[in-house]
Amino acid sequence: MSLYAAYAGHLDARLMTRRAPHSPLRATGWLNGWRLTFGGEQLGWEGALATLVEDPLEQVFVALYDIAPMDEDALDRWEGVGLGIYRRLRVRVHTLEGEEQAWAYVLDAYEGGLPSARYLGEIADAAESAGAPHDYVMELRKRPC
């Protein structure tokens, strides 16, 4: 199994149960030195798509999943890895148990553009359901869309 750092909509455990049914949640944590942003507006159905970019002053709340090989392939297809929409990146996740190496999806497009209000709301709801701190969720809800 490999370790996947889920952010944005994949923080929703119900969604991950459908997309990766053989892959249990291990923990939650933070990607320090990264920020959640949006890009690839021309690739999304309703605005820009979530991604990560390095930023030494920021952090992103993530959920760590032990991904089974069959679920790994399904997630890659869902995220459009073969189409060049997202690609995998190795990251370090800080959890209460220590630091873990994992992979995350990052958009293979330039940063910029605004997400739809619906998409941003789903991301905030997912973060809240995964146990993200209240101030983190409120910052998501206040973002421009």
- Residue 60 CA to residue 5 CA, distance in Å, equals 10
Please name the residues in contact with 128: beta carbons below 8 A apart, sequence gap of 6 or more. Answer: 137
Query: For 87-97, how does the pLDDT look when each residue is reduced to its tens digit (9 = 90+)?
Result: 999 999 999 99
What's the whole-number average pLDDT of the chain?
95
pLDDT value at residue 46: 84
Tens digits of residue pLDDT in 63-104: 999 999 999 999 999 999 999 999 999 999 999 999 999 999
Please give the C-alpha separations between residue 16 and each of 8, 19, 78, 99, 117, in angstroms, as whole numbers: 12, 5, 12, 23, 22
Over the stretch 38-54, which tens digit does the pLDDT of each residue have?
998 877 678 999 999 99
Look at residue 43 in the predicted model and tell me its pLDDT. Answer: 78
Sign of CA dihedral 73, 124, 65, 89: positive
Annotated binding site: 119
Instruction: For Cα atoms 48, 33, 17, give the angle at the middle one, nearest 5 degrees.
Output: 55
Q: Is the pLDDT of residue 1 over 80?
A: no
Q: How far apart are CA 37 and CA 21, in angstroms?
A: 27
Would you place residue 131 in the very low, low, confident or very high pLDDT band (cuts 50, 70, 90)?
very high
Give the pLDDT of residue 11: 97
> What is the pLDDT at residue 123?
97
Contact 61, 136 (CB under 8 A): yes
Separation of alpha carbons 65 and 20, rounded Å: 9
Pairwise CA distance, residues 130 & 63, whole Å: 7
Stated pTM of the model = 0.94
* Model pLDDT, residue 52: 98
In CATH, what class is 2-142?
Answer: alpha beta
pLDDT at 7: 98
Res 30 pLDDT > 90: yes
Mark whether 79 is an active-site residue: yes
**Between 102 and 110, the higher pLDDT residue:** 102
What residues does each domain of the chain span?
A: 2-142
The answer for residues whose C-beta is within 8 angstroms of residue 52's C-beta and 6 or more apart is 7, 31, 34, 35, 36, 37, 60, 89, 91, 104, 106
Residue list for the binding site for substrate: 119
Spot the catalytic one: 72, 79, 122, 128. 79
Nearest to 107 by CA among 51, 23, 66, 48: 51
